[in-house]
């Protein structure tokens, strides 16, 4: 498969230091190889969206970047150090992650959920501290969840629930944040709500964000950089304008589409025509 | 077409997302929850003391409270009453306390690790393994006293859990709640089949076994209590260590790992605690159902899903429940006795049904 126009170099030129990198990473479940020989570099303060058709391996890649899945070959580097050989807790102080549609135990309050985000900063000697208290209070306020702090998570609406989880990730206080389809099952206005929150985390709190997204238009609007995957390989990487081309949509998504400028943000917007083949 | 550099304006979404910066007020609800947990803990402590007092004071032979007090404080005169209180009721109460504590705590851990509201130490193959150990001890070695059963029951429980854990973690992704529960159910069925195979062929074993299998505190002397005490103590320590990890595992394994929890370690510690606690309890008293199943559900009403509270409170309620059931068993069919395992089943079944009807059962 050829993908033209999109740059295939894995980094944007002229950006900061590399925080998280995949070096010829291959990922497999049992014998089934899902991702082959993939290279990717994520620079400090970047906002990257990983897009691709169902089953292309984007969630699997995110799991490997978050140390949830050990590569069968190659390695993932966090701040230049092999993540597989870094203690879990040390990773958890730098890198936070939210899996797709996480589930909280019934009856768990928002406040308790967010408080659990402080776990990597606690130890047997140092249990709950003023820092923890302050971080939780701030995370709740910042995500506008303070008024819901003593409500059970399972009684919230889908959008509020996702906010509660993001609040937990914020309390964790990590520089890097990996989100696997945080907008799943949300209606459009709540999708926007969640992505605005993530974008503010990036813009105002300087978080380095990697998010797996299905919606190409939202990905193009919020992310600085898109990474397109197909069949376990990285096929394009660059600014939304560089990656989202009619050719790429045909090649990767089997979709005939027009690309027009988003009338609000000016970012590329996909207008589907029909499915190819 | 815009490049990514002019992204800033579109990021400033319409307002209403962030509240004003500053500290969030600590809410009345959180305070209330903290207060209800403390109150519940206090109530449980009182309940345990009352139950222990009853267990020492009440029996098939009526002994006045004054005489009980004298027997406890002044053993100088070895009257018949002093002997009954010190040699029979005191060890029986101590054993009841330990076993109830163990079963309650083990139940809370088992439900947490399997994320299954029907989670019970029996679900993890502990009880079935212990039963097989006792049957083999009776059948092959002719062991005939509770003090003699202890080690075999314990060995059986250990083998049972280790097998369940290794089978449950064999697949991809290691030991998950589902694989643990499946392995436990399958191995329990196998162990019970073996138990029945022995019992069917050997009526002498059946006679000895049937007194063990109903679950009783009666006839276990201080020697049994001392035998299992160190294991229960070790199990309780591991359980308390494991409780915070269970709070993280309750968010799902991926989230727990993301928060820096070593999942395999937490599962191992938890299963070790369940094996020690439930193995020791079963070894001492035979299989006692319902405590591990029911108690965590009751405690959860006031602790919520926080295992730091749920685990110790389940232990306390387990101890109180077991002692009360034992006392009831001594009273209801005087001058005979009903074994505590039977009383618990008679009490537990309707109670559990009422609980299911009142509120939706929740896991972890």
Query: What does B135-163 look like in DSSP terms, one character per residue?
Result: HHHHHHH---SHHHHHHHHHHHHHHHHHH
Q: If pLDDT is split at 50, 70 and 90, which confidence band does A101 have?
A: confident
Could you tell me if A193 lies within 8 Å of chain B, comparing CB atoms? yes
Residues 6+ apart with CB under 8 A from B332: B338, B343
Q: A74 with A40: CB under 8 angstroms?
A: no
| Counted domains in chain B | 1
Which residue is listed with tokens 């509770």? B146
pLDDT tens for A159-218 read 899 999 999 999 999 999 999 999 988 999 999 999 999 999 999 989 999 999 999 999
Lowest-pLDDT range of A227-236, B40-49, B219-228, B231-240: B219-228
Most distant CA pair in chain A, distance: 62
B123 pLDDT above the threshold of 50: yes
Nearest Cα residue in chain B from A200: B11
B146: CATH? 1.10.3470.10
**B45 lies in a domain?**
no
Please tell me what DSSP assigns to residue A184: T
State pLDDT tens for residues B228-247.
899 999 999 999 999 999 99
Q: Could you tell me whether strands A47-51 and A225-230 are parallel, antiparallel, or unpaired per DSSP bridges?
A: parallel
Parse chain A into domains and list their residue ranges: 18-103+174-275
- Among the four given CATH numbers 3.40.50.720, 3.40.50.970, 3.10.105.10, 3.40.50.300, the one describing domain A18-103+174-275: 3.40.50.300
Contact in structure between B139 and B356 (CB atoms under 8 Å): no
Record: contact A112-B29, CB cut-off 8 A: no
Residue B51 lies in a domain: no
Distance from CA of B254 to the nearest CA of A (A): 7
In whole angstroms, what is the distance from residue A161 CA to residue A143 CA? 11
pTM of the model: 0.84
Separation of alpha carbons A214 and B348, rounded Å:
50
Q: Give the separation between CA B162 and CA A139, rounded to whole angstroms.
A: 42
> Which of A30, A89, A261 faces B260 most closely, judged by CB atoms?
A89
B35 contacts chain A (CB < 8 A) = no
Instruction: Indicate yes or no: CB of B33 within 8 angstroms of CB of A150.
Output: yes
User: Nearest CB to A239: which of B4, B21, B172?
Assistant: B4
Q: What is the mean pLDDT of chain B?
A: 82
- Residue B8 in domain: no
Cβ <8 Å between A113 and B251: yes
Let me know if residue B327 belongs to a domain. Answer: yes
3-state secondary structure of A37: strand
Show Cβ contacts of residue B61 under 8 Å, excluding neighbours closer than 6 positions.
Answer: B84
Reduced to 3 states, what is the DSSP secondary structure of residue B316?
helix
Judge whether B131 lies within some domain: yes
Report yes or no: A72 at the B interface, CB cutoff 8 Å: no
ipTM: 0.88
Contacts of A102 (CB under 8 A, 6+ apart): A165, B251, B252, B254, B255
Q: Is A131 on the interface with B (CB under 8 A)?
A: no
On whether the CB atoms of residues A93 and A121 are closer than 8 A, the answer is yes
Q: What is the dihedral of CA B324, B117, A156, A192, to 10 degrees?
A: 160
Confirm whether B48 is domain-assigned: no
SS3 sequence of B172-183: CCCCCHHHHHHH
- The boundaries of the domain holding residue B214 are 88-358
Q: Which residues of A6-29 are buried (b: 16+ CB within 10 A; e: fewer)?
A: beeebbbeeeeebbbbbbebbbbe
Q: How many CB atoms lie within 10 A of CB B27?
A: 19
Of A110, A171, A108, the C-alpha closest to A136 is A171
């Amino acid at each position: 498969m050829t993908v033209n126009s999109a740059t295939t170099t894995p980094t944007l030129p002229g950006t900061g230091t590399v925080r998280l990198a995949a070096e010829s990473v291959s990922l497999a479940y049992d014998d089934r190889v899902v991702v082959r020989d993939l290279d990717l570099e994520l620079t400090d303060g970047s906002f990257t969206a990983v897009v691709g058709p169902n089953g292309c391996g984007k969630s699997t890649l995110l799991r490997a970047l978050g140390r949830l899945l050990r590569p069968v070959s190659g390695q993932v580097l966090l701040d230049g150090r092999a993540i597989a050989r870094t203690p879990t807790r040390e990773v958890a102080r730098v890198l936070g992650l939210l899996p797709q549609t996480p589930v909280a135990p019934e009856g768990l309050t928002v406040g308790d959920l967010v408080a659990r985000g402080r776990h990597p900063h606690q130890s047997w000697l140092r249990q709950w501290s003023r820092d923890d208290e302050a971080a939780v209070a701030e995370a709740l306020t910042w995500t506008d969840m303070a008024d819901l702090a003593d409500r059970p998570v399972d009684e919230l609406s889908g959008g509020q629930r996702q906010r509660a989880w993001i609040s937990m990730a914020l309390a964790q206080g990590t520089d890097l944040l990996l989100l696997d389809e945080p907008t799943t099952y949300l209606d459009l206005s709540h999708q926007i709500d969640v992505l605005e929150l993530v974008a503010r985390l990036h813009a105002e709190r300087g978080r380095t964000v990697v998010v797996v997204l299905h919606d190409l238009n939202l990905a193009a609007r919020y992310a600085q950089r898109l990474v397109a995957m197909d069949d376990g390989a990285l096929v394009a990487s660059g600014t939304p304008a560089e990656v989202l081309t009619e050719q790429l949509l045909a090649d990767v998504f089997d979709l005939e589409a027009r690309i027009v400028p988003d009338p609000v943000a000016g970012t590329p917007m996909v207008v589907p025509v029909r499915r190819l083949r | 077409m815009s490049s990514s550099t002019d992204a800033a304006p579109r990021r400033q979404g319409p307002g209403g997302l962030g509240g004003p910066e500053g500290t969030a007020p600590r809410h009345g609800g959180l305070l209330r929850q903290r207060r209800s947990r403390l109150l519940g803990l206090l109530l449980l402590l009182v309940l345990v003391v009352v139950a222990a007092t009853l267990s020492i004071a009440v029996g098939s032979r009526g002994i006045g409270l004054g005489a009980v007090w004298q027997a406890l404080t002044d053993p100088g005169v070895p009257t018949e009453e002093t002997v009954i209180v010190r040699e029979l009721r005191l060890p029986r109460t101590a054993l009841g306390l330990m076993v109830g504590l163990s079963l309650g705590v083990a139940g809370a851990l088992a439900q947490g690790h399997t994320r299954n509201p029907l989670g019970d130490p029996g679900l993890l193959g502990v009880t079935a393994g212990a039963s097989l150990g006792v049957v083999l001890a009776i059948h092959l070695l002719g062991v005939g006293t509770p003090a003699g059963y202890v080690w075999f029951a314990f060995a059986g429980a250990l083998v049972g859990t280790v097998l369940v854990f290794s089978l449950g973690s064999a697949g991809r992704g290691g030991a998950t709640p589902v694989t643990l529960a499946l392995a436990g159910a399958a191995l329990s069925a196998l162990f019970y089949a073996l138990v029945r195979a022995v019992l069917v062929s050997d009526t002498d074993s059946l006679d000895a076994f049937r007194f063990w299998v109903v679950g009783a505190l009666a006839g276990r002397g201080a020697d049994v209590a001392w035998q299992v005490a160190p294991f229960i103590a070790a199990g309780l320590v591991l359980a308390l260590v494991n409780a915070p990890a269970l709070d993280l595992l309750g968010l799902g394994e991926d989230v727990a790992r993301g928060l820096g929890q070593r999942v395999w370690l937490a599962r191992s510690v938890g299963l070790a605690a369940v094996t020690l606690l439930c193995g020791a309890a079963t070894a001492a008293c035979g299989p006692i159902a319902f405590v591990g199943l029911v108690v965590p559900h009751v405690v959860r009403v006031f602790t919520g899903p926080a295992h730091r509270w749920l685990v110790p409170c389940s232990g306390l309620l387990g101890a109180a429940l077991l002692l009360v059931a034992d006392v009831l068993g001594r009273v209801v069919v005087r001058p005979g006795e009903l074994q505590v395992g039977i009383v618990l089943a008679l009490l537990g079944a309707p109670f559990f049904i009422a609980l299911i009807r009142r509120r939706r059962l929740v896991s972890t």
